[in-house]
Amino acid sequence: MGRTGVIAPVRVYGPNDLAAYDGPLLLDTSVWLRYVHGSGDRLCPGTVDLLNRIAQTNQLLVCDISCWEVATKAAKGKLPLAVDVGIWLEQAEALAGFRFRPLTRQVLLQSTRLPGDLRGDPADRMLMALALIDRVPLVTTDRLIIEYAKQHPGLHVVDVR
């Protein structure tokens, strides 16, 4: 991947492939959670350095659907938080380096028009749709998203497993 806005034919990158990249990155929910909670050591080497560098320019993007996913996991007891989820989300939103992207009708519509056989989490489809619309790489640990990107042009992902 080249400089901002220049997408190479490659569709799946590792964090070290983006050494010269200075554009925005869309984080999937699990990557956002790990980064905010300081458990980036559970991501592949180079991930935290990449995210820290992009955060310096306030270009780490988080979709509102990720806020919904966090709240849903907390409500089901699958995500233990030290504070109420509403407070956690306010604190996470106030952190430097992040910009939150709304879940627009355009994103919702695009999520239903992704080509190919795409099963699984509707939130993942919304993240993929936003990445396509904004033309930004999606940083993920999700094997299904990574495999999808290998087979379908346009979606670029950063594999941080």
Taking only the tens of pLDDT, the chain with its 161 residues reads 544 555 456 799 999 999 999 999 999 999 999 999 998 888 999 999 999 999 999 999 999 999 999 999 999 999 999 999 999 999 999 999 999 999 999 999 999 999 988 877 999 999 999 999 999 999 999 999 999 999 988 999 999 99
CATH topology of domain 12-159: Rossmann fold (3.40.50)
The residue extents of the domains of the chain are 12-159
Model pLDDT, residue 9 = 63
Secondary structure, 3-state, the chain = CCCCCCCCCCCEECHHHHCCCCCCEEECHHHHHHHHCCCHHHCCCCHHHHHHHHHCCCCEEEEHHHHHHHHHHHHCCCCCCCCCHHHHHHHHHHCCCEEEECCCHHHHHHHHCCCCCCCCCHHHHHHHHHHHHHCCCEEECCHHHHHHHHHCCCCCEEECC
